[in-house]
Amino acid sequence: MIVSRRVSWFLVAFGVWSWVIWPTFLKNIWADKRSWHDGMTAFFAVHLVLTVVSLALGTAIGVLGARGLLSTRRHGGPAHVDQDGGRPGVPRSVPR
């Protein structure tokens, strides 16, 4: 799949945003009196899972954006195509 530079930057920004927001959210939940009562409560457990999943998805989305940016730099942009119709650096299957 080909991703434009604009979309790639958006994906990277989303990944960074996730890493700014979710640790702060978890810190605030940690300090909430509903999080601890003779150990971890269900309230905290649910928010911990939410944070972990969101960070994992944010990381994956940010990596996709970073790969898109690297690809556009290597190949001269998302729409760059060789004269014979193939993308540079991408081997073609040859019919036998």
Over its length of 96 residues, how does the chain's per-residue pLDDT go in tens digits?
Answer: 788 999 999 999 999 999 999 999 999 999 999 999 999 999 999 999 999 999 999 999 999 999 999 988 777 655 444 555 555 565 666 666
Would you state the pLDDT for residue 92? 62
Would you state the pLDDT for residue 76? 64
Q: Is residue 83 part of a domain?
A: no
Would you state the pLDDT for residue 89? 60
Are the C-beta atoms of residues 65 and 8 closer than 8 Å to each other?
yes
Tell me how far apart the alpha carbons of residues 57 and 49 are, in angstroms, rounded to a whole number.
Answer: 12
Q: Is residue 23 part of a domain?
A: yes
Supply 13's token pair: 């920004």
Region of 11 (left: φ > 0; alpha: ψ -120 to 50; beta: rest) is alpha
Would you state the pLDDT for residue 57? 98
Q: Is residue 92 part of a domain?
A: no
Under 8 Å CB-to-CB from 77, ≥6 apart: which residues? 5
Q: Is residue 29 part of a domain?
A: yes
Q: Is residue 48 part of a domain?
A: yes
Would you state the pLDDT for residue 77? 57
Task: Provide the 8-state DSSP code for 64.
Answer: H
Q: Is residue 39 part of a domain?
A: yes
Tell me how far apart the alpha carbons of residues 52 and 68 are, in angstroms, rounded to a whole number.
Answer: 24
**Helix or strand run (H / E) with residue 66:** helix 42-75
Total domains, the chain: 1
Q: Is residue 90 part of a domain?
A: no
Whole domain around residue 54: which residue ranges?
Answer: 5-75
Residue with tokens 């269900």: 42
Q: Is residue 81 part of a domain?
A: no
